[in-house]
Amino acid sequence: MNNNPIGIFDSGLGGLTVWREVRWQLPNEDIIYFADSRNCPYGHKTADEIVRLARDIVDGMLTKGCKLIVVACNTATAAAIDELRKSYPIPFVGMEPAIKQAALNTRSGKVGVLATKGTFDGRLYKETSRKYARNVDVVVQVGDGLVELVEANEYNGPKARLLLEKYVTPMLEHGVDQIVLGCTHYPFFKSQIEEMVGNNVTVIDPAPAVARRVNDVLAEQGLQNAPNHCGSDVFVSSGDAGAMQTLLTSMNKKEYHREMLLIGDNQYESLR
């Protein structure tokens, strides 16, 4: 048994979709969630910039004793996870677009992927696509502007609808029957996308599979918390803490344990 917390971080608030799944599947684990909203979005930053930001966050999480860290950001996974795994002695679980699931389940032979530029440029996406989608017609779409709407808690508004129509309509016209959400911010739009595409198109959120992988790694390495422990949550933001609190409330998380976390610029940020 290892009663230290799991760390989860994202460029902002999108990784809360991963936190939600980890919390649901692993109710006895303690979790520290860090949103780097000050530096969000990561999608158009250079790989070197993202590696620096990721290392600063991981350094802070290690001061809190995190036993495993989830890089709950597709862009950060693409740019930094190899470096993190080489540099730190704890396990990391990352994100990658669920191309395999989409390719296996497609009936039309056509799938759509909605992601950031950084994800599409990354090694993981390219390798996964070559391995599993060689015989599938993949329609890629960069979701510019969607991350910012989630960060501003405007993901249910008219701006979101206009952008989603702009990005999803060409996929439907191409005949896709699977749409992969390749950014952890994008599941906040899942219900709207499902309403747009109807019953014949499956919208895939990779977060449940990531949570299963976290569970597997903890079990494999003997890092699971005591089974009778009631897990706690710490939410930390480098940006607007009020935005995260509003979003958590909308996700029906009514009470938060508040704690400060030292990040790379030596300033403390908290939800207080």
CA dihedral 25, 26, 27, 29 (to 10 degrees): -160
Residues 174, 111: contact at Cβ < 8 Å?
A: no
Instruction: Identify whether 183 is a catalytic site residue.
Output: yes
- Give the number of other Cβ atoms within 10 Å of residue 144's Cβ: 15
The active-site residue, picked from 40, 66, 183, 230, is: 183
The active-site residue, picked from 40, 66, 73, 230, is: 73
Rounded to whole angstroms, the Cα distance separating 15 from 156 reads 18
Rounded to whole angstroms, the Cα distance separating 103 from 65 reads 39
User: Rg of the chain's alpha carbons, rounded to an integer?
Assistant: 18
Q: Sheet harboring 137-142: ordered strands across?
A: 137-142, 110-115, 178-182, 202-204
Rounded to whole angstroms, the Cα distance separating 212 from 202 reads 20
Could you tell me if residue 169 is left (phi over 0), alpha (psi between -120 and 50 degrees) or otherwise beta?
Answer: alpha
Rounded to whole angstroms, the Cα distance separating 272 from 111 reads 43
3-state secondary structure (DSSP) of residue 134? coil
Instruction: Identify whether 230 is a catalytic site residue.
Output: no
What angle (nearest 5°) sits at the alpha carbon of residue 214, between those of residues 260 and 3? 55
User: What is the enclosing helix (H) or strand (E) of 101?
Assistant: helix 99-105
Kindly list the distances between the CA atom of residue 211 and the CA atoms of 29, 47, 117, 263, in Å, as whole numbers in the listed order. 12, 25, 24, 25
3-state secondary structure (DSSP) of residue 179? strand
Which residues are tagged catalytic? 73, 183
